[in-house]
A and B are shown apart, each in its own frame.
Chain A
Amino acid sequence: MKKLFALLMAAMLLVTCAFTAASAEGEKYLGVMLSTNVMSLDTNLATDGESFEVIADCIDGLMQMDANGAAIPAIAESYDLSEDGTVYTFHLRDAKWSNGAAVTANDFEFAWKRIAKEAGEYAYLLDTSVGCIKNADAIIYEGADPETLGVKALDDKTFEVTLEVPVSFFPSLMYFPTFYPINEEFYNSLAEGTYGTSPETFLSNGAFVLEDYAPGTASLSVKKNDAYWDADSIKLAGIKYQVVGSSDNALTAFRSNTLDVVTVSGSQVGAVEKDASLSSQLKVTGAGYLWYLTFSQTANNANGYLANKNLRLAITNAIDRESLVENYVMDGSLDTYTAVPPQFAASSTTGEDFSADQDQFLDYVGFDPDKAAAFFETAKAELGQDEFTFTLIYGNNEGDEVAKVAQAIKADLEDLLPGLTVNLQPMTKSERLDKMQNDNYEIALTRWGPDYADPMTYLGMWITNNSNNYGFWSNAEYDQLIKDCTTGAYITDYDARWAALLQAETIVMQEAVIAPLYTKANANLIASGVNGIQFHPVALNRVYKAVVLE
């Protein structure tokens, strides 16, 4: 027995030595960190940024993002818009799938109808709250025939989309993976549940083709697609993705040259900045997410105390957001005082960021202990209550800094509002959402990332009965404003709509429906010599089409 084991050990050692010689690779791939596993390469099922990023490496939609996040043509060479602004006609260029088939208008029609039919997580991008594609609501929510969706392949190269009402940002939706094409013939040739589960069961028409992937894998790779319509401008040989579950580990992986692009945690940024060679490779980019507190405003929870506007205002004025981002988040995130975070939605007429002015709501939200105390006194008088105890729920798997932020908020509130006690309750994201959706919480620390580059991606959440209106807050004036902006009076007048959106945001802030905290940023380390990665806070967080390795 012992001899056998000795043999085994010896064999292991031998194999170890045999493999020590690094496997020689051809052209260098870019090593990129993913913070979670890729959940699906199927545009209908994918819900996370990592999946979207890999899908976008391999598939082009009608439009793509330029370096500034504006929509520029991809598979669609050009498009026409009808005079009433409701019919888009996209003219497709000659592009090929990786199996040699041509990319046709039917690929889009098939994929979009599938999204509507399956009514999954991102189907809402088609409905009247966002994309306003004709009949989408009836198909998604009432089970109408998917064939009635307002999309049509006029011929192989012409794709027509009919909207219910004009949507000013519609072209920029086209770079979101939900709107990407799938080759119908190829899809139908596969067994159920196998599409996108391996390089063989996945077609690409984009800059890269899938080289090595299986569901659940911690490492995957894509390589350059020579048949890509714009192959000449792609300089990168391929990308090797590695899932790094602990951000603490990412820094060492970067220093060991295992990875070229990593995201480090806020607590590491300080160490990175002290190191001369590392700090020159640090690049902070906006991640888009707004972290905020939401309050249950129904009588079901906390005796209905949080329905009191002054109590909410007291809380939102007692949080030192500057200290929060400087001392605890630390990755370059921005302290935020607006319900729509900055840096993702700019007016197409003036070019000005919707939330550039962070001081505009200082009367209602900010850090002002005196004002907080005053609001608190009013609330106490109104509620006839001197002591309050609330439970703050937050996710334990939503980032390293979340628990720290929760503890800092607790310390701030208890410090500045004597009589208020905050109990912390971590839970999984799934449980947190469940509690919030079923109005079974008091205060929650939650986040929302923009799905498209328009303030509506945030402001649309607080209309009555929206599933993301976790406060169950309701305001008729607000509902009307949002309605006017999506399907009503303002849809054709861009500037008026913009002003109306601002007016809606003002109501949210006045009422302290939510307490915005900070806009998340990512602290990236990018190896010197790697140029041209485009970072975006919306839709696709990282785009590699312009990457050049030196």
Chain B
Amino acid sequence: MLKYVLKRVGLALITLLIIVFLLFWLVRVMPGNPFPSERMNDIQIANKRAEMGLDDPVLVQFARYIIKALQGDFGNGTSLYYGVPINTVLSKAIGNSFRIGGIAIVIGTLIGLLLGITAALNRGKFLDGFCTVFSIIGVCVPSYVFLIFLQYNFAFRIPFFPYFFDPNRFVFSSVLPSLSLSLFTMSTIARFTRNEMVEVFDSDYVRLAESKGMYGRTLVLRHVLRNALIPIVTVLAPLVVDLLTGALVVEKIYGINGIGKLMVDAITGEGIDYNYVLALGILYSALYIGVMLAVDLLYGVLDPRIRVAAKGEEA
């Protein structure tokens, strides 16, 4: 097992390097300047580009970037928070996004599972129908529309929650954005759980378990849910990455300094901030690769028959 994990981590580093290079090259191909340029003339722009080393061959720039990045220096902002080291800005934004996204994942997964299980146990009855309609609405209504609704009702009409995000009252002011972000996850998980469990309930081995006299919670949790978890974990994994890496509109509406907004600002702001795009790209890829590795390992735990690793790699 350890050997397999180490091998995957090694591969992940290579994958990451490829991704960073692709991104490094692509942002330089994109139209636009890496700094605001409305009031600069051609000479100034050329000087700025030279100063940033943009005239060197891409490979040279890339090598320079990688060497610095390995030392933990991801450069300074050029079109966002000018001149400030990216690490300073990112550390705060990552903290905010991870915590709000984290809460959203927990809420979404828990309620989604509960809804799904309830629906599956009441198959064909009212609760099942409710769950279906709820999940469909949940994926059709964008999270920011839901947030506006929550904000209007629970921060304005009934002024219980703060109207904007306040880092000094973190948990309290995360409730509304987390709740709205969890809606999509909740709906997806509920639907997958319901459909999977219904299918597992119909399978031969559950019938066998039933016929052996197993019933109730043991049956549902030990046999049905466990077997239904594989697709659930699979759909949950990318959602986890997406939620952790922030949501542009929700952050904008609720005044959250998060990485979703940073990423879009870096691309669509006064210029294209290469350094931010790269740093955030690395963060996203690393998270994605890590979560996917975790999922592959989890498969083996959920169903011991599954072997993702090739023979000889397990130990």
Say whether A216 contacts B81, CB under 8 Å: yes
**Which of A12, A193, A428, A434 contacts B85, CB < 8 Å?**
A193
Contact string against A for B residues 248-270, beta-carbon threshold 8 Å, 1 for contact and 0 otherwise:
01011101110001100101111
Q: Is A371 an interface residue (CB 8 A)?
A: no
CB closest chain-A residue, reference B39: A121
B44's partner among A15, A23, A45, A140 (CB-CB below 8 A) is A140
Residues of B within 8 A of A123 (CB): 44
Query: Which of B30, B155, B269 is in CB contact (< 8 Å) with A256?
Result: B155
- Give 1 or 0 for each of B152-189: 1 = CB within 8 Å of chain A CB: 10011001100111111101100100000000000000
Contact at A20–B89, with CB atoms within 8 Å? no
A-B CB contacts (within 8 Å), total count: 165
CA gap between A215 and B265 in the complex, in Å: 13
Q: Tell me the A182-223 residues at the B interface (CB within 8 Å).
A: 193-194, 197, 214-219
- Given A215-B89, A430-B272, also A243-B255 (CB < 8 A): yes
Contacts of B43 in A (CB 8 A): 141
The answer to whether B164 and A23 touch across the interface, beta carbons within 8 angstroms, is no
Residue in B closest to A430 when the chains form the complex, CB atoms: B32
Distance in Å: Cβ of A447 to nearest Cβ of chain B: 10
The smallest beta-carbon distance between B35 and chain A, in angstroms, is 8
Answer yes or no: A397 CB below 8 A from chain B CBs.
Answer: yes
Q: CB-CB < 8 A to A428: which residues of B?
A: 32, 267-269
Within the complex, which residue of B167, B249, B269 is in contact with A430, where a contact is CB–CB below 8 Å? B269
Near A by CB (< 8 A), chain B positions 18-43 give 30-33, 35-43
- State A253–B162 Cα separation when bound (angstroms): 10
Assess whether A245 is in contact with B253, with CB atoms less than 8 Å apart.
yes
Of A140, A218, A396, the residue contacting B256 (CB under 8 A) is A218
| Bound Cα distance from A23 to B43, whole angstroms | 53
B-side contacts of A467, CB under 8 Å: 39-42
B277 on the A face (CB < 8 A): no
Q: Which residues of B contact A40 (CB under 8 A)?
A: 81-84
B164 cross-chain contacts in A, Cβ below 8 A: 218-219, 242, 244, 253, 258
Report the Cα distance A5→B271, complex, angstroms. Answer: 44
Query: Is A12 a contact partner of B171 (Cβ separation < 8 A)?
Result: yes
Task: With a 10 A CB-CB cut-off, give which of A218, A253, A451, A468 has the most chain B CB atoms.
Answer: A218
Q: Which of A122-142 contact B (CB under 8 A)?
A: 122-124, 140-141
CB of A121 within 8 A of CB of B40, answer yes
Given A141-B41, A430-B270: A197 in contact with B156 (beta carbons within 8 A): no
Chain B 121-154, CB-CB to A under 8 Å as 1, else 0, gives: 0000000000000000000000000001001100
B252→A429 contact, CB < 8 A: no
How many residues on the B side are at the interface (Cβ–Cβ under 8 A)? 65
Q: Cβ of A39 < 8 Å from any Cβ of B?
A: yes
Q: B32–A253 contact, CB under 8 A?
A: no
Partner of A216, one of B31, B42, B165, B257: B257
Is the CB–CB distance between B252 and A246 below 8 Å?
yes
Q: B39 contacts A45, CB within 8 Å? A: no
Indicate whether A45 sits within 8 Å of B31 (C-beta atoms), given known contacts A216-B262, A252-B151, A467-B40.
Answer: no
A19, closest chain B residue (CB): B172
Given A218-B165, A433-B38, A5 and B81 contact (CB-CB distance below 8 Å) = no
Bound together, the chains give a CA A396 to CA B269 distance in angstroms of: 11
Tell me whether B88 is interfacial, beta carbon within 8 Å: yes
The distance in angstroms between the C-alpha atoms of A244 and B165, with both chains bound, is 11
The answer to whether the Cβ of B193 comes within 8 Å of any Cβ in the partner chain is no
In the complex, whether B291 has a CB less than 8 A from a CB of chain A is no
Please tell me if the beta carbons of A256 and B159 are within 8 angstroms of each other in the complex.
yes
Is B80 in the interface zone, CB < 8 Å from A?
A: yes
Contact yes or no, A122 B39, CB < 8 A: yes
Q: How far does the alpha carbon of A397 sit from the alpha carbon of B271 in the complex, in Å?
A: 12
Q: Is A119 an interface residue (CB 8 A)?
A: yes
Interface pair B81/A15, CB less than 8 Å apart: no
19 sample A-B contacts, Cβ–Cβ < 8 Å, listed by A number: A15-B171, A19-B172, A20-B172, A37-B81, A40-B84, A45-B82, A47-B38, A121-B35, A194-B84, A215-B84, A215-B88, A245-B261, A252-B151, A428-B267, A430-B271, A430-B272, A434-B31, A451-B39, A467-B40
Q: 12 extra interchain contacts, Cβ-Cβ under 8 A, other than A246-B249, A256-B159, A433-B37?
A: A5-B106, A40-B84, A121-B36, A194-B84, A215-B84, A216-B92, A218-B255, A246-B252, A256-B156, A258-B163, A428-B267, A434-B32
| Interface pairs A-B: 8 shortest CB-CB | A245-B252, A430-B32, A19-B172, A45-B82, A215-B81, A218-B255, A428-B268, A258-B163
Task: Please list the residues of chain A having a beta carbon within 8 angstroms of any beta carbon in chain B.
Answer: 5, 8, 12, 15-16, 19-20, 23, 37, 39-40, 42, 45-48, 119-124, 140-141, 143, 193-194, 197, 214-219, 242-246, 249, 252-253, 255-256, 258, 396-397, 428-431, 433-435, 437, 451, 466-468
